């Protein structure tokens, strides 16, 4: 049949009929399908961090001076309040004795002023003492009493200065380092000891900021800690704290994971943390990776077969493991195309291969 195309265009109904015939005789694509494996997915966030002490202090003396005695060495376990270092306090002790003597003199003066005041009070009963003398003796007693209080305060200050010539452990722990020795002159800015608590350790990890919404609203987040040393078993723990401040360079947030006292770890060691993220409300399905169609905009879709035609379903890629992918928005009762999906379009005719389900 020799029909020119220009003639056909004059009859739109004839053109439509020819196109429908062409579609009708198009060969359907042969595809294989598979049913998904459904499960409720609980994701894990795997991070590596370092063991830290809850209390880690650089200790300095409260006074400047010459070191007389060092009472602790690196590696020593010390108790709270234990003496670590003593400064030479001879001058401070002499000044304390001087102030104590002035306090004694002030107390004698106060006692004498009180006696003289009480004396004129007794004479005033027989009206042989002028009122001005009584007022004068009362003022003298008040002045002496004030001077005694001033000297008492001076002694208290100097006693504190003497006490500050000794450095005590603020908490129980282990001496990690010592930076000074006997005979050295130190100031209040000198770092003399590094003291690390022997209890209350934690694993510090950096969490990517995109996980903040998932973790910040949870009251309890389970964590499995795997030490990076041989012979120390993994243990279960929990997320102790998520610091709600993001690092501007790495875009991460610091998280602290509780480390029990019998974990076998020490401060400074590294360990891996498997943080259990909250389960998704919707279940996900596992399909072969070949079932995914990649979109230019970065999205994904899969195809199910309805009445021998491909039907596109938009999905979100949740996880990948080898040649399997976990996606949402799919049904356990449907079969999905796992071959030739890159060439498929929504509505294309398809033929499911025998035994390919």
Residue with structure tokens 């000891």?
A: 193
The top-scoring range by mean pLDDT among 87-96, 204-213, 220-229, 321-330 is: 87-96
For the cut 50, the answer to whether the pLDDT of residue 8 exceeds it is no
Residue with structure tokens 């390919």?
A: 356
Q: Categorize the per-residue pLDDT at 355 as very low, low, confident or very high, splitting at 50, 70 and 90.
A: low
Q: 55: how many CB neighbours lie within 10 A of its CB?
A: 16
pLDDT tens digits along 175-188: 999 999 999 999 99
For the cut 70, the answer to whether the pLDDT of residue 279 exceeds it is no
| Beta partners for residue 275, in sequence order | 45, 223
What residue spans of the chain are helical by DSSP H? 5-9, 12-24, 90-124, 131-163, 212-216
Residue with structure tokens 């042989």?
A: 128
- Is 276 in contact with 221 (CB distance < 8 Å)? yes
Q: What is the DSSP letter of 80?
A: T
pLDDT tens digits along 9-53: 455 554 555 445 444 456 888 899 999 988 776 678 899 999 999
Between residues 262 and 204, which one has the greater pLDDT? 204
Q: Categorize the per-residue pLDDT at 130 as very low, low, confident or very high, splitting at 50, 70 and 90.
A: confident
| Beta partners for residue 309, in sequence order | 306, 349
- Is 136 in contact with 167 (CB distance < 8 Å)? no
pLDDT at 169: 96
For the cut 50, the answer to whether the pLDDT of residue 173 exceeds it is yes
Q: What percent of the chain has pLDDT over 90?
A: 61
Biggest CA pair distance of the chain? 156
pLDDT tens digits along 302-338: 999 999 999 999 999 888 888 999 898 898 889 999 9
Q: Categorize the per-residue pLDDT at 218 as very low, low, confident or very high, splitting at 50, 70 and 90.
A: confident
DSSP string, 165-181: TEEE-SSSEEEEEE---
| Beta partners for residue 1, in sequence order | none
């Amino acid at each position: 049949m020799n029909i020119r195309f220009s003639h056909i265009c004059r009859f739109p109904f004839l053109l439509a009929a020819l196109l429908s015939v062409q579609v009708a005789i198009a060969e359907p694509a042969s595809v294989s399908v598979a049913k998904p494996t459904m499960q409720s997915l609980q994701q894990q966030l795997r991070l590596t961090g370092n063991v830290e002490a809850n209390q880690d202090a650089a200790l300095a003396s409260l006074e400047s001076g010459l070191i007389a005695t060092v009472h602790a060495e690196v590696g020593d376990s010390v108790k709270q309040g234990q003496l670590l270092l003593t400064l030479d306090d001879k001058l401070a002790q002499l000044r304390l004795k001087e102030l104590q003597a002035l306090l004694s003199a002030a107390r004698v003066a106060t006692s004498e002023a009180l006696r003289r005041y009480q004396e004129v009070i007794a004479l005033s009963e027989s009206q042989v003492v002028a009122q001005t003398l009584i007022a004068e003796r009362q003022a003298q007693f008040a002045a002496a009493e004030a001077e005694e209080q001033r000297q008492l305060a001076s002694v208290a200050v100097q006693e504190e200065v003497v006490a500050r010539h000794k450095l005590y452990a603020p908490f129980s722990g282990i001496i990690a380092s010592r930076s000074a020795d006997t005979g050295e002159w130190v100031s209040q800015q000198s770092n003399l000891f590094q003291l690390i608590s022997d209890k209350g350790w934690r694993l510090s990890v950096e969490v990517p900021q995109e996980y903040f919404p998932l973790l910040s609203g949870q009251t309890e987040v389970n964590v499995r800690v795997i030490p990076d040393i041989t012979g120390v078993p993994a243990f279960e723990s929990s997320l102790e704290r998520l610091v709600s401040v993001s690092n501007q360079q790495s875009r991460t947030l610091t998280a602290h994971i509780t480390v029990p006292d019998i974990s076998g770890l020490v401060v400074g060691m590294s360990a891996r943390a498997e943080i259990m993220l909250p389960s998704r409300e919707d279940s996900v399905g596992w399909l072969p990776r070949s079932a995914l169609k990649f979109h230019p905009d970065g999205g994904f879709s899969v195809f199910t077969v309805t009445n021998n035609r491909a039907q596109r379903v938009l999905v979100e890629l949740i996880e990948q493991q080898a040649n399997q992918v976990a996606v949402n928005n799919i049904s356990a009762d449907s079969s999905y195309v796992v071959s030739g999906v890159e060439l498929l379009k929504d509505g294309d005719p398809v033929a499911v291969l025998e035994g390919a389900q």
